[in-house]
């Protein structure tokens, strides 16, 4: 299992037991309501399980909820799939006033499936001819609405100002 520890602050009136169950369900198989398709699968095989909850000492109405996720929920080699599954939807859950992922334990058998980048920092440094210092970059904003000419101008100004690279916000 992948083990996650969430700092949970329930909304006023929401019991901690309900909040912990909501975190486990919403980050695995849950929806905000029961749907007819729930009966078409064995949810027990897929759902996250909150196996422990403890009070955060010195903090009012805060708890650490420990959730276990079965490994077969996740695509091998995909960090994106793992994080999207665990934290992608749960943070907007209305039963919670606040939620923060505090810790994540990934079994070596699963982490070994991550291939990593195709090359390391040295290749990037060689391409840029930049050594002996951190590489500096930025994301061009606004992420939508700039013409190609103005986007190019923004990139040029960033590089002229000393940055080593820019990146788009996956919307270009």
The predicted-structure confidence for 87-112, as pLDDT tens digits, reads as follows 876 766 778 888 899 999 999 999 99
Phi then psi dihedrals of residue 116, to 5 deg: 80, 180
* Total-model pTM: 0.65
C-alpha dihedral (22, 23, 27, 30), degrees to nearest 10: -10
Q: Is 42 exposed, middle or buried (0-12, 13-18, 19+ CB in 10 A)?
A: exposed
Residue 145 vs residue 71, higher pLDDT: 71
On the question of pLDDT at 33 being above 90, the answer is no
What region, left, alpha or beta, does residue 77 occupy, with left being phi > 0 and alpha being psi -120 to 50 degrees? left
- Give the pLDDT of residue 117: 79
pLDDT (0 to 100) of residue 72? 86
Tell which wins on pLDDT, 26 or 5. Answer: 5
pLDDT, residue 50, reads 87
Helices and strands, counts by H and E, the chain: 6, 6
Alpha-carbon gap, residue 62 to 18, rounded angstroms: 13
> pLDDT higher for 145 or 159?
159
Domain residue spans of the chain: 2-112, 121-167
Give 2-112's CATH code, choosing from 3.40.50.620, 1.10.3470.10, 3.30.70.150, 3.40.50.1220.
3.30.70.150
Contact (CB, 8 A) for 85 and 69: yes
| Each residue's pLDDT tens digit, 45-89 | 667 888 999 999 999 899 999 999 999 888 999 888 888 888 876
C-alpha–C-alpha distance, residues 10 and 22, integer Å? 10
């Amino acid at each position: 299992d992948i083990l996650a520890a969430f700092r949970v602050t329930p909304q006023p009136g929401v019991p901690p037991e309900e909040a912990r169950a909501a975190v486990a369900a919403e980050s695995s198989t849950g929806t905000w309501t029961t749907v007819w398709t729930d009966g078409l699968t064995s949810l027990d095989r897929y759902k996250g399980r909150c196996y422990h909850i403890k009070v955060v000492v010195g903090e009012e109405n805060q708890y650490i909820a420990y959730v276990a996720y079965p490994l077969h929920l996740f695509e091998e080699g995909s960090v994106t799939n793992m994080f999207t599954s665990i934290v992608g939807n749960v943070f907007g859950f209305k039963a919670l006033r606040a939620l923060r992922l505090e810790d994540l334990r990934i079994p070596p058998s699963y982490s070994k499936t991550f291939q990593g980048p195709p090359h390391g920092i040295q290749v990037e440094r060689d391409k840029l001819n930049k050594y002996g210092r951190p590489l500096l970059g930025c994301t061009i904003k606004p992420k939508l609405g700039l013409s190609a000419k103005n986007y190019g101008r923004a990139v040029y100004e960033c590089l002229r100002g000393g940055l080593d690279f820019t990146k788009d916000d996956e919307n270009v």
